[in-house]
Amino acid sequence: MSEVDSNCIHTVLTGRTLLENSLLNKDTAFSMEERSELELHGLLPPRVETLEEQCRRAYKSFSVKPTPILKHIYLRQLQDTNETLYYALIQRHLEEMLPIIYTPVVGQACQRFSDLYRRPRGLYISYPERDRIDAMLANFKRNIEVIVVTDGERVLGLGDQGIGGMGICIGKLSLYTAVGGIAPNKTLPITLDCGTNNQQLLDDPAYLGWRHKRIDDEEYYAFVDSFIQALKRRWPKALLQFEDFAIHHATPLLDKYRSELCSFNDDIQGTAAVAASTLLAAARTAGKPLEEMKIAFLGAGSSGCGIAGQIIRLMVERGQTEEEAQKRIYMVDRFGLLNDEMEGLYPFQQKLTHKKSEIEGWSNTDGVFMMDVIRHAKPDAIIGVSGQPGLFTKEIIEQMAENHKQPIIFALSNPSSQIEATPEQIVSWSGGRALVATGSPFDPVEFNGKVYPVAQCNNIYIFPGLGLGALACGAEQVSDGMLNAAVETLAISAPEGTLLPPMNDIKRVTGEIARAVALQAQKEGLAPECEVSVLEERIRQQIWKPEYRRVRVAYC
């Protein structure tokens, strides 16, 4: 138990018990006075270090790790022992460490989650223990403000990872803190263990999850609802982020619960927001009004349709009717361009179909595919969210370059092993004229003596600011208008000629997004109104900084 004020933390913990608490541990930064009061003498090396000195030592240890996954393991171990140092280190080296704690390396960590498991973090709610959800939530005595929950069924482009999806939740919440300033003691990663259909995990004796096939939809939705209702009883004002749910569950869950509590789906809405913002910046660079553009998608899952929906809303804001905007969107899935005579489409896909009669003659095969769309519709931009590598072929890129002076080509599938085409391929095949964005980080591309930066459509540009703004204003819901505000704010934050702001400017951009989101929530009546100056102060007060405070014994 501990109490915190601006200058001091009072705790009943002492000795090794205190050192094992990652939120309170300062390790070698405990002063001699603290060591005496907290019974730490002899438990630490005699030298007293500053946080800055600890960061330099930790960065040296990080740097000598020979592989990305070993760097990830090192940072996770640091997070589990001293969270203040962990976040101070990340903030000093965010651009370098982001791919390690998040995509693409977190994908490997999810695949090896059971093997790499060291210390408890977060909450595991397993289906066989569904009658104990209230008690499980009560086990966390802290006031939780942000929760990231997954069922692990669709982790990045890697498929069903069971409880391994917890790795994504931990990584996302690390970024909520490092970038959005949400205090780490107010965050909670949760895995809903519904079983797994990954036979490799079911056969693995080391797998730590419920070794059972995934439950069916009736049981599944009842289980999720039990969790949501318990969450509303325990932390009714918490922000809930759905993460890595499969296509057939993600949209129904979002539609059902977004009006019940402050919640959003990062794969659908966060991805949509950052991709739409990047597209706005690309349209500005290419000198084309967004509302007059045509966009083709390779991949018509929840992410692709989410991006399409966000773009349509932006087009409507700019004067198009919804019907006109939808006609400018082309969704190509494995069976071809979605049309009104296709069977088995999800409701969110049915909204984005074209009339089959209007695309007759576009192809000599049974379906209309991406190359057919590019030749006949001549889209200004193509966006890959297929999760399948190599589908943006040389022929496709060359045709885009033939159609447009500056073709816009976004290959957004994660991790990098699943990308539709590498930036080097896109730049080379387009003769250096394409405006390129990816989902995973890539180095700049050198082509014909010129260096081309590669924008990473990373959700980190959106969700920390969205969460910070929603919490600061006390929003009841996350509305489409709030997401639009985030998109527009991010788009105008990109320097001229670039598609996204530099990573070293992300904290400033996050603050601007938080302000815009909070103001929009007030405008829509989703949060109590207050003066802008008061709102800005609330945002500042919400931001936690990784700084050591004096630790003292709390005498009961």
Instruction: Categorize the per-residue pLDDT at 247 as very low, low, confident or very high, splitting at 50, 70 and 90.
Output: confident
Q: Which of 233, 261, 289 is the last residue of a domain?
A: 261
The upper half-sphere exposure of residue 498, i.e. CA atoms within 13 Å in the direction of its Cβ, equals 15
Domain count, the chain: 3
Let me know whether 220 and 314 are in one domain: no
Q: Is 187 in the same domain as 276?
A: no
Per-residue model confidence (pLDDT) at position 3: 60
Q: With 80 as the cut, is the pLDDT of residue 254 above it?
A: yes
Rg, the chain, Cα only: 24
- Say whether pLDDT at 54 is over 70: yes
How far is the C-alpha of 15 from the C-alpha of 17, rounded, in Å?
5
All residues at 6 or more sequence positions from 100 whose CB lies less than 8 Å from its CB, including other chains = 68, 71, 72, 75
Cα distances (angstroms) measured from residue 178 to each of 63, 92, 249, 288, 543: 20, 10, 30, 35, 10
- Whether 407 maps to a domain, the answer reads yes
What pLDDT is recorded for position 5?
59
- Distance CA(553)–CA(17), nearest Å, equals 13
- Pick the residue with more confidence: 102 or 430? 430
One-letter identity of residue 408: I
- Residue 150 has phi, psi (to 5 degrees) of -140, 160
Instruction: Give the chain's mean pLDDT.
Output: 95
The domain that holds 188 is classified in CATH as 3.40.50.10380
**Residues 477, 452 within the same domain:** no
Question: 26, 71, 172, 186: which is the annotated catalytic residue?
Answer: 172
Q: Is residue 12 situated within a structural domain?
A: no
Residue 183 sits in the same domain as residue 277: no
Question: Can you tell me the mean pLDDT for 339-362?
Answer: 93
- CA–CA dist 253, 228 (Å, integer): 10
pLDDT for residue 10: 95
**For position 496, what pLDDT does the model report?**
86
State the pLDDT confidence band at 241, using cuts at 50, 70 and 90: very high
Neighbours of 284 (CB within 10 A): 17
Tell me the mean pLDDT in the region 293-300.
Answer: 97
Using DSSP's 3-state secondary structure scheme, residue 383 falls into strand
Q: Does 30 map to a domain?
A: no
Same domain, 363 and 443: yes
Q: What percent of the chain has a predicted confidence (pLDDT) above 90?
A: 91
Quick one: pLDDT band at residue 382, thresholds 50, 70, 90?
very high
Is residue 175 scored above 80 in pLDDT?
A: yes
The pair of structure tokens assigned to 90 is: 């990340």
The pLDDT of residue 417 is 87
Report pLDDT for 302. Answer: 87
pLDDT at 556 over 60: no
Do 373 and 481 belong to one domain?
no
- Cβ-defined contacts of 423-428 (< 8 Å, 24+): 423/452, 423/454, 425/392, 425/394, 425/397, 426/392, 426/397, 427/452
Q: What is the arrangement of strands in the sheet containing 2-4, beginning at the earlier edge strand?
A: 2-4, 8-11, 550-553
Which domain range does residue 127 map to?
Answer: 103-261
* 326 and 472 housed in the same domain: no
pLDDT at 359: 94
Place of tokens 């090192």: 74
Could you say which of 26, 71, 86, 102 is catalytic? 102
* 65 among known catalytic residues: no
287 and 166 within one domain: no
**Angle, vertex CA 237, rays to CA 232 and CA 243, nearest 5:** 75
State whether 250 and 304 are in the same domain. no
Tokens of 328: 């400018």
Shared domain for 294 and 226, answered yes or no, is no
Q: Which pLDDT value is given to residue 414?
A: 84
Give the whole-angstrom CA distance, residue 239 versus residue 217.
25
95 in any annotated domain: no
The pLDDT of 370-381, averaged and rounded, is 97
Does this model's pTM top 0.75?
yes
DSSP 8-state assignment for residue 130: G
pLDDT score at 7: 80
The pLDDT of residue 163 is: 97
User: Is 554 a member of any domain?
Assistant: no
In a domain, 96, yes or no: no
CA atoms of 159 and 351, how far apart (whole Å): 26
Number of helical H runs and strand E runs in the chain: 24, 17
Cβ pair 339, 363 in contact under 8 A: no
Q: Is the pLDDT of residue 6 over 80?
A: no
pLDDT score of 517 more than 60? yes
Query: By three-state DSSP, how is residue 263 classified?
Result: strand
CATH number of the CATH domain containing 435:
3.40.50.720
Q: Is 144 exposed, middle or buried (0-12, 13-18, 19+ CB in 10 A)?
A: buried
pLDDT digits (tens, 9 = 90+) for 319-349: 999 999 999 999 999 999 999 999 999 999 9
The pLDDT of residue 4 is above 60: no
- Tell whether 191 is covered by a domain: yes
Q: Are 395 and 422 in contact (CB under 8 A)?
A: no
The whole-number average pLDDT for the span 510-529 is 97
Predicted pLDDT at 36 = 97
DSSP class of residue 26? -
Question: Which tens digit of pLDDT belongs to each residue from 201-239?
Answer: 999 999 999 999 999 999 999 999 999 999 999 999 999
306 & 437 share domain:
yes
Does the active-site annotation cover 102? yes
Quick check: bond before 379 cis, omega within 30? no
Buried b (16+ CB within 10 A) or exposed e, 312-321: bbbbbeeebe
What would the two tokens of residue 436 be? 């390129």
Residue 102, token pair as written in the block: 């998040």
pLDDT band at 256 (very low <50, low <70, confident <90, very high): very high
Question: What would the DSSP string read from start to end of 454-494?
Answer: -EE--GGGTHHHHHHHHHHHT-S---HHHHHHHHHHHHHHS
Give the residue from 232, 261, 290 where a domain finishes: 261
Tokens matching residue 418: 């699943």
CA distance 310 to 471: 23
Q: Are residues 275 and 251 in the same domain?
A: no
Secondary structure, 3-state, 238-255: CEEEEECCCHHHHHHHHH
Flag whether 68 is in a domain. no
Q: H helices within 235-298, ranges in order?
A: 247-257, 271-286
Last residue of one domain, picked from the residues 261, 282, 312: 261
pLDDT of residue 317: 93
pLDDT in tens, 131-172: 999 999 999 889 999 999 999 999 987 899 999 999 999 999
